[in-house]
Structure 1
């Protein structure tokens, strides 16, 4: 088996500290070594890599281009090792704190109201909810699991389908009145259609599903999250297209109304995505089992 091509860990730690402070003196103080020892360790690293990491002019040092590249790599790696170390130290038999990367509206409307059940069953597991809907990176976001909407294609992860969604047209009750009341699909031409910035094709999908040629419509503002779209629709800013399970309360209270009976299956589904590296931690396994049981 091939051995890893790695320089001295002490040299790497010293290089990172010198680059962070831009000073051998301050790095040496942090590492509790002499300045000459810190300088020798960085020199040994440069000799190992066979590239200069710093330029040295009189009493000033500056990272070279290779040094900046290597510093970013080393800094990120050390932060990941530190985060993992702190996590293991703080965990109790794999329990500790469960970090969940969550779609904001799904978390607010669906998951959080149900978390008391998980907490009651496993009182020794704390949880940390992090708003997360961009590119999934468990390490950078420091999360154990994530819930996302999509088509199930997240590599190097354990993926469990949770639920689909039915999307429906909704609006403020005020828009059912006036000169162009929403009594037919054709009336949509006279109202602004609110868009979801991360699901730009939602309206086209709905139009095709109900057999309407999208044609030319009056596009309204675009919002990043469903909770923003919900509030915009309640305020009468325009007509919204929303998953029915996210607006049950608003429909019940009459803050929103559904002018049409059409309900269309969305073009994706919600998934629980588990970091393969953390899948066997007790807190992760128990949350996954609880969530799938709750969905079921």
Structure 2
């Protein structure tokens, strides 16, 4: 038989547990409105952020929180909903991956540099400074391997921490930068950059990877990205 003290304690505990349940439910409801996306910094700066207003227009009920390190371990704690990753040629997309695009590489430069050393031909590229990055130091070698061309000498080298910085340097007339085409499509369309030799498939693949159980907000974001990529 429960004593009077026991009944009082049970009543207090029940109320406390109900309060905890209500608080957790409120947190879950608030959390479900936030979409956590992890993306490489250059991809975020050069492609994703300039287009996010379109996602917001289509899905005003979803708030987005963006991180620029898609491989960090937080995703194991279900904090990250979607990661935008680049798979090497020997990596196959997984079951949780949605393919966004096949990467194409090519050199870009400011229009003002055309004519300095015949910059429109492969042999003329050696007359211009080469812009490289710490995040992808072998980009030039990868591009030359795609062309099956002999090594092209460089007239000086400038190194940058991130590809986004090297692209800006190219647009400012500092030299040539090898970059994926989707990161500079707006600059080429506006005439800020030119790609005299075009772009070639590199074998790398961009994917959107959903973490944890699939959620409506994750599916909405991935579907939007795929549609926007296919329309470029």
Asked whether 1:103 is paired with 2:37, we answer no
Cα shift readout 1:241-289 (whole Å, capped 9, x = no counterpart): 12222222222333222233x42112301110121x2x33332233334
Q: Report what 2:115 is aligned to.
A: 177
Q: Summarize the Cα distance change of 1:120–1:207 in structure 2 as closer, same or farther, 3 Å threshold.
A: same
User: 1:228 offset after TM fit, Å?
Assistant: 0.8
Q: Is the 8 A contact 2:108 2:178 kept in 1?
A: yes
Q: Report what 2:217 is aligned to.
A: 283
Q: Summarize the Cα distance change of 1:104–1:94 in structure 2 as closer, same or farther, 3 Å threshold.
A: same
Q: Summarize the Cα distance change of 1:188–1:290 in structure 2 as closer, same or farther, 3 Å threshold.
A: closer
Q: Summarize the Cα distance change of 1:143–1:184 in structure 2 as closer, same or farther, 3 Å threshold.
A: same
Q: Report what 2:154 is aligned to.
A: 217
Cα shift readout 1:208-247 (whole Å, capped 9, x = no counterpart): 2222112643451222333211111012222111222222
Q: Report what 2:125 is aligned to.
A: 188
Query: Equivalents in 1 of 2:94, 2:120: separation in Å?
Result: 48
Q: Is the 8 A contact 1:102 1:130 kept in 2?
A: yes
User: 1:146 offset after TM fit, Å?
Assistant: 0.9
Query: Equivalents in 2 of 1:284, 1:137: separation in Å?
Result: 17
Unaligned runs of 5+ in 2: 1-22
Match for residue 28 of structure 2 among 86, 91, 94: 91
Asked whether 1:274 is paired with 2:190, we answer no
Q: Report what 1:162 is aligned to.
A: 100
| TM-score (normalizing by structure 1) | 0.59
Q: Report what 2:18 is aligned to.
A: none
Q: Summarize the Cα distance change of 1:263–1:87 in structure 2 as closer, same or farther, 3 Å threshold.
A: farther
Match for residue 83 of structure 2 among 117, 126, 146: 146
Q: Is the 8 A contact 1:172 1:236 kept in 2?
A: yes
Paired residue total:
207
- Aligned residue runs from structure 1 range 233-248, under 5 A: 233-248=170-185
- Aligned residue runs from structure 1 range 1-296, under 5 A: 89-92=26-29, 95-132=32-69, 135=72, 137-139=74-76, 142-151=79-88, 153=91, 158-178=96-116, 180-214=117-151, 216-218=153-155, 220-260=157-197, 262-275=198-211, 277=212, 279-296=213-230
More relative contact order, 1 or 2 (CA 8 Å, 6+ apart): 2
**Structure number, greater radius of gyration:** 1
Q: Summarize the Cα distance change of 1:219–1:160 in structure 2 as closer, same or farther, 3 Å threshold.
A: farther
Cα shift readout 1:32-59 (whole Å, capped 9, x = no counterpart): xxxxxxxxxxxxxxxxxxxxxxxxxxxx
User: 1:183 offset after TM fit, Å?
Assistant: 3.6
Query: Equivalents in 2 of 1:213, 1:192: separation in Å?
Result: 18
